[in-house]
Amino acid sequence: MAEEIEYIDETWPDKNSLLPSDPYKRAHAKFWADFIDKKVNVTARRIWAAKGEEQEAAKEFIEILKTLESELGDKKYFGDETFGYVDIALIGFYSWFGVYEKFGNISIESECSKLIAWAKRCLERESVANALPESEKVATFVSDCRKKLGLE
């Protein structure tokens, strides 16, 4: 996903950029997007797709989300007032939160309320709301995957 966003930014530089123009902030955003790609993605999958690892993965997942929540701080978006690269990297996982909560026996909202508030702000953007799958469709997809994997 990171390559696609960089391509868009480089191809249409006169449009709203998703990456900061400041080199330090740009590197910072790339670091966090890479963190999300490597940590959130891998750990989240272990919650629903690895038998016997759900609880350990869920605990690790919450710690990862808390790290991201700390990075978000009191900002509106990860890019301060501007929706951008890191927000795009993370918001896609929001549709999966119900699945993670079910199989990990966790409450993301009670553990990471600022992150949930951020996700709801992101969903106020029409582009985000229209792009994310409904949580119910994700749950059905995961149920089908678990059956194929012999986990149900």
Tell me, yes or no, whether 29 lies in a domain. yes
Residue 10 domain-assigned? no
Residue 140 domain-assigned?
yes
Q: What is the CATH number of the domain that holds 48?
A: 1.20.1050.10
Check if the beta carbon of residue 2 is closer than 8 Å to that of residue 34: yes
Asked if the structure places residue 105 within a domain, the reply is yes
Nearest in space to 71 (alpha carbons), one of 18, 32, 109, 38: 32
Q: Is residue 50 part of a domain?
A: yes
**Overall domain count for the chain:** 1
pLDDT tens sequence for the chain (152 residues): 667 777 777 787 767 778 888 999 999 999 999 999 999 999 999 999 988 889 999 999 999 999 999 999 999 999 999 999 999 999 999 999 999 999 999 999 999 999 999 999 999 999 999 999 999 999 999 999 999 999 87
Q: What is the C-alpha to C-alpha distance for residues 102 and 99, in angstroms, rounded to an integer?
A: 5
**Which residues constitute the domain of residue 126?**
24-148
Whether residue 19 lies inside any domain: the answer is no
pTM: 0.90
